[in-house]
Structure 1
Amino acid sequence: MNGLFARLAPLLALAALIGLWEVLVRACDIPPAQIPAPSLIAKTLIDNGPQLLAATAITLREALLALALAAAGGLALALVFAWSPWLEKTFLPLAIALQVTPLIAIAPLLLIYLEPPTAVLACAFLVAFFPILSNASAGLKATDRGLIELFRLKGASRGTILLLLRLPSALPQIFTGLRIGGGLALIGAVAAELAAGAAGNSEGLAFRIVEAGYRLKIPMMYAAVALLCLCGVALYGALAGLGHMVLRRWRDEPETEA
């Protein structure tokens, strides 16, 4: 019973928060142009479903593609850094510089030189890349030294140790980086779409937010933001579930009583 309540607690808290929101808006007679009620937001979602879902599909596709590229590039570069510490000292400062540069400053520049879809993809890739790289590098460095020495005693080469010992040992932190990178890829895609949408060159969900803001369609803005939240939660949940499936061997199994 306690386990079931623990699983339902987040949903119950969310339902209570939405109910309180609805009651306060109605009780205080707040106009929809200021704060729309959840029921009005839900109605807006239903009435504009095809348009919003099409925009959501564009944004989510951009974020997923950027995440896939960031995962492949970040993991590959982390393996290169683990193979050659000299290369890590050489190129890691550049990766850090790209990470700490504000995305809102990069997006308009990329839109000058790239087509809007490519610029959005590049922005999402840049913000998702470094967390994956840093977590993968930390995981590769954290391999037990005793196991490394054991592999060496058995005659294993550097490549064998890297691929058969250090890489599997780093999987928990790699998946941590993927969960962080997934959320950041969505944020990067939305931020780039906002910049592109301000110039009238985007079709994603963030562009719908900009468009609704220009037309003072506040319920539409809330509906688009709600879809973005759902996409973020779904993406995080999917990555967490994938990590749980892959890392079940790393988790302690409950002991069975005789």
Structure 2
Amino acid sequence: MTELQQGLAAGDAHDTQPQADGGPPAHERILRVVIPLVMLGGLIALWAWYVKAYNVPHYILPGPDLVAQAMVRDWGVLGPALLVTLTITFEALLIALVGGVLIAILFASSRWVEIALSPYMVILQVTPIIAIAPLILIYTSTTQQALLICAWIVAFFPVLSNTTQGLKSTDHNLLNLYELYGASRWQTLFLLKLPAALPYFLTGLRIAGGLALIAAVVAEFAAGSAGAGSGLAFRLLESQYRLNIPRLFAALILLCATGVAIFGATSLLSHLLLRRWHESAIRREN
């Protein structure tokens, strides 16, 4: 064991008591699932009642039964389109995570690099993606590459900004302790700064997951891609042009469910990684 590890172990000797999971009680966890489901059922029932009570034409507002039938009947079309959109979303999110974390480390390590590059990162973030999508289409060889770049641009900045802020928010007393024990820059980065930045990174991940899905759809709208390899955005436009409103609603529901699933998965990951040590996930005892 190195001198650094011995010193840190000695400094943490008083804090070896096990911590509680910190999660909510079992009945509260059940209510968190049951209440939204009951609310969803009530909204669907209200929707069905409104359509039937006022005889709303199906080409204006289809009932839940027609939407469900369209979902099942047209799954051969909607399923592959959803897979295309998901592929673009997750590929863009993965690239954004890797690139955002690496550049955040670079920013935290060199103030001059941050000063030089951060304005251009902000420009990428504030420029509407629908405005630059046609240019990206011109300079890329395939539509799929253009969609991937558009989704990456939108998902990249939340990861970068949150991770950078997390790396800069490391406790100064702990930094002084690491310097006192002669820790190298890499030891300080991997043993202190990155764990301290984890909550910030996970917040950026939750934001970037939803934005990547939105950007993939918006980019496809701007690209005007069509054909067998198109995503849900094209199916939305196609359904609108053909006045196939039940299929349009089915595609919208698939997009909403995908967004909720991404948010739920990233929230679960955040809870699992933070539940035993971070204040945001530990339940107060008083």
Q: Confirm or deny a common fold (TM above 0.5).
A: yes
Give CA deviations for 1:184-241 in whole Å, capped at 9, x if unaligned.
0000100111122x35366111111111111111111111010000110111111111
Q: Tell me the distance in 2 between the aligned counterparts of 1:57 and 1:255.
A: 42
Matches within 5 A, 1:159-198: 159-196=186-223, 198=224
Q: CA deviation at 1:170?
A: 0.5
Q: Tell me the distance in 2 between the aligned counterparts of 1:110 and 1:37.
A: 40
Give CA deviations for 1:127-155 in whole Å, capped at 9, x if unaligned.
00000000000111111000000000000
Contact 2:225/2:234 (8 A) holds in 1: no
Q: CA deviation at 1:249?
A: 2.7
Q: Tell me the distance in 1 between the aligned counterparts of 2:202 and 2:172.
A: 22
Matched residue, 2:66? 40
After superposing the two structures, state which structure 1 stretch, 218-227 or 107-116, moved more. 107-116
Matched residue, 2:135? 109
Q: CA deviation at 1:2?
A: 5.3
Matched residue, 1:124? 151
Contact 2:143/2:225 (8 A) holds in 1: no
Query: Which has the greater radius of gyration?
Result: 2
Question: Which structure features the higher share of helix residues?
Answer: 1
What is the SS of the residue equivalent to 1:170? Answer: helix
After superposing the two structures, state which structure 1 stretch, 4-13 or 86-95, moved more. 4-13
Q: Tell me the distance in 2 between the aligned counterparts of 1:228 and 1:45.
A: 12
Letter in 2 for 1:174: F
Matches within 5 A, 1:56-75: 56-75=82-101
Which of 192, 201, 219 is the equivalent residue of 2:246?
A: 219
Q: CA deviation at 1:122?
A: 0.3
Matched residue, 1:147? 174
Which of 112, 118, 125 is the equivalent residue of 1:99?
A: 125
Give CA deviations for 1:154-183 in whole Å, capped at 9, x if unaligned.
001222212210110000110000000000
What is the SS of the residue equivalent to 2:276? Answer: helix
1:236 pairs with 2:263? yes
Matched residue, 1:209? 236
Q: CA deviation at 1:7?
A: 2.8
Q: CA deviation at 1:109?
A: 1.5
Q: Tell me the distance in 1 between the aligned counterparts of 2:235 and 2:109.
A: 45
Q: Tell me the distance in 1 between the aligned counterparts of 2:101 and 2:56.
A: 50
After superposing the two structures, state which structure 1 stretch, 90-99 or 245-254, moved more. 245-254
What is the SS of the residue equivalent to 1:250? Answer: coil
1:250 pairs with 2:277? yes
1:135 pairs with 2:162? yes
RMSD of equivalent CA atoms = 1.7
Number of residue-to-residue matches in the alignment: 255
Question: How high is the TM-score relative to the length of structure 1?
Answer: 0.94
Matched residue, 1:25? 51
Matched residue, 2:33? 7
Q: Tell me the distance in 1 between the aligned counterparts of 2:283 and 2:163.
A: 29
Q: Give 5+ residue unaligned stretches, structure 2.
A: 1-25
Which of 68, 78, 86 is the equivalent residue of 2:104?
A: 78
Superposition misfits of 4+ residues, deviation over 6 angstroms: none
Q: Tell me the distance in 1 between the aligned counterparts of 2:112 and 2:43.
A: 52
Go from structure 1 to structure 2 and tell me whether the alpha carbon gap of 1:251 and 1:7 turns closer, same or farther (over 3 Å shift). farther
Q: Tell me the distance in 2 between the aligned counterparts of 1:174 and 1:25.
A: 44
Q: Give 5+ residue unaligned stretches, structure 1.
A: none
Q: Tell me the distance in 2 between the aligned counterparts of 1:180 and 1:36.
A: 32
Q: Tell me the distance in 1 between the aligned counterparts of 2:107 and 2:284.
A: 40
Question: How high is the TM-score relative to the length of structure 2?
Answer: 0.85
